[in-house]
Amino acid sequence: MTLIQTPFDARSTAAEVLAGVDLSGKRMIVTGGASGLGTETVRALAGAGAEVTVATRRPDAGSALAQLPGVRVAALDLADPASVQAFVASWTGPLHALVANAGIMAVPTRELSPAGWELQLATNFLGHFQLAHGLHDALRAAGNSRVVVVSSGVQRSSPVDLDDLHFERRPYDPWAAYGQSKTAGVLLAAGIARNWAGEAITANALAPGFIHTNLQRLISPETMRAMGAMDEDGKLITPEYYKTPEQGAATSVLLAGSPLVEGVTGRYFEDNQEAEVVAGGPDVRRGVAEWAVDPVAADRLWSLALETL
Ligand SMILES: NC(=O)c1ccc[n+]([C@@H]2O[C@H](COP(=O)([O-])OP(=O)(O)OC[C@H]3O[C@@H](n4cnc5c(N)ncnc54)[C@H](O)[C@@H]3O)[C@@H](O)[C@H]2O)c1
């Protein structure tokens, strides 16, 4: 399979990726759009003319973005099925792109969502699964639509344990739970590509790179120091390999709006390029793990997630 290449690289910004692209008339949703990468994703998509809904747990946090032309803010708590249902019920008309960007990382102890699911899986994967299914008709109605799943390089470290999704049988580990939820995101894109093929709905996943955002707030200082992102006095350092939020949002907007990936589906991107399939492992630095694009795992996870609807 030939990997898809674009003229952009790790340092390209979201605005650069969409330069000259006209998204007027396109209706898009960015979950978790009121902070970090989501905000830059919203800015770039709206800057290219799209009508963007910022789906956020705290609508007041999106009030500055709501001043931008074409941007509106709506309440959504992905961990709460009733909130997802209410968001879906309030949506009318077609949907051209759903950017599944919201996420939480490394919750220190095992927490459960209102439905009794492990919180990182519930937020990062199951909530987006429910949202995509609830918006399926709207995606179909657009005639040509895209689902973009913001995953992470940690998909290379953690397969999904299909027999113990919620850490009921194995000891809870904050990183294994985050990694599993991000692998599940890649499998979600694969599942949509497989199950909704023929409906003109494409789905792709991506890793944005490393970016200082609120996401790291639950990481221990020891881990931040080990990552080279904090000094001995607790001051944040920006290592060479970190991106700015504008660069971190670039691959999301490439997949949501660029004509360069028209019709592309079921793929995984890093730094604005499609990445190759690799054997997973904690020391692997690039690519998508075999277990994150395994069609059998995608189908099994799809079936398990359907049971939660
Ligand atoms: N920053 C990085 O280095 C990095 C690396 C890899 C992947 N990612 C992924 O990028 C995405 C964006 O993260 P970010 O770095 O901008 O962090 P962030 O914390 O700024 O953004 C995450 C957003 O998700 C929202 N969110 C969390 N729980 C939610 C819920 N239950 N319902 C609705 N919204 C919820 C938060 O309110 C926030 O707006 C995440 O999916 C994250 O896993 C980030």
What does the pLDDT look like over 101-142, one tens digit per residue?
Answer: 999 999 999 999 999 999 999 999 999 999 999 999 999 999
pLDDT value at position 236? Answer: 85
pLDDT, tens digit, 9 for 90 and up, residues 163-196: 999 999 999 999 999 999 999 999 999 999 999 9
Does residue 39 have its Cβ closer than 6 Å to ligand 1? no
pLDDT in tens, 276-287: 999 999 889 999
Q: Is the shortest distance between the CB of 271 and ligand 1 below 6 Å?
A: no
For atom 27 of ligand 1, which residue has the closest CA?
Answer: 103
Q: Residue 22 pLDDT more than 90?
A: yes
Q: In terms of pTM, does the model score above 0.95? A: yes
Average pLDDT over residues 79-92: 98
Rounded to an integer, the average pLDDT of 54-78 is: 95
Distance CA 94, CA 115 (A): 29
Residue 178 bears catalytic tag: yes
Q: Would the CB of 181 count as within 6 Å of ligand 1?
A: no
Q: Whose CA is nearest to atom 39 of ligand 1?
A: 32
ipTM > 0.95 (yes/no): yes
Q: Which residues are CB-neighbours of 125 under 8 A, at least 6 positions away?
A: 181, 184, 185, 188, 305
Q: In a 10 Å sphere around its CB, with 0-12 CB exposed, 13-18 middle and 19+ buried, how is residue 254 labelled?
A: buried
CATH number belonging to domain 14-215+246-306 = 3.40.50.720
Pairing label, strands 51-56, 27-31: parallel
Give the mutation target among 215, 219, 246 for probing the ligand 1 site: most ligand atoms within 8 A of CB. 215
| Cβ of 210 less than 6 Å from ligand 1 | yes
- Mean pLDDT, residues 268-282 taken together: 96
CB of 76 closer than 6 A to ligand 1? yes
pLDDT greater than 80 at residue 37 = yes
- Answer yes or no: is the C-beta of 238 below 6 A from any ligand 1 atom: no
Distance (Å, rounded) from C-alpha 148 to C-alpha 187? 12
Ligand 1 centre from 58 Cα, in Å?
13
Q: What is the pLDDT of residues 209-260, one digit of tens each?
A: 999 998 888 888 888 888 888 899 888 888 888 999 999 999 999 999 999 9
Sign of the torsion angle spanned by Cα atoms 44, 47, 50, 52:
positive
Which ligand 1 atom minimizes the distance to the CA of 77? 32
Average pLDDT over residues 193-205: 96
Gap from CA of 102 to ligand 1 centroid (Å): 4
Atom 37 (ligand 1) nearest CA: 32
Q: Out of 30, 37, 39, 60, give the residue to mutate to test ligand 1, the one with the largest number of ligand atoms within 8 Å of its CB.
A: 37
Distance 8 CA to ligand 1 centre (A): 23
Rounded mean pLDDT of 256-270? 98
**Best mutation site among 213, 224, 227, 268 for ligand 1, i.e. most ligand atoms within 8 A of its Cβ?**
213
Quick: pLDDT tens for 143-158.
999 999 999 999 999 9
Contacts of 27 (CB under 8 A, 6+ apart): 50, 51, 53, 93, 94, 95, 96, 97, 142
Query: Does residue 104 line the site of ligand 1, with CB under 6 A?
Result: yes
Q: Residues 172, 178, 242, 268: which is the catalytic one? A: 178
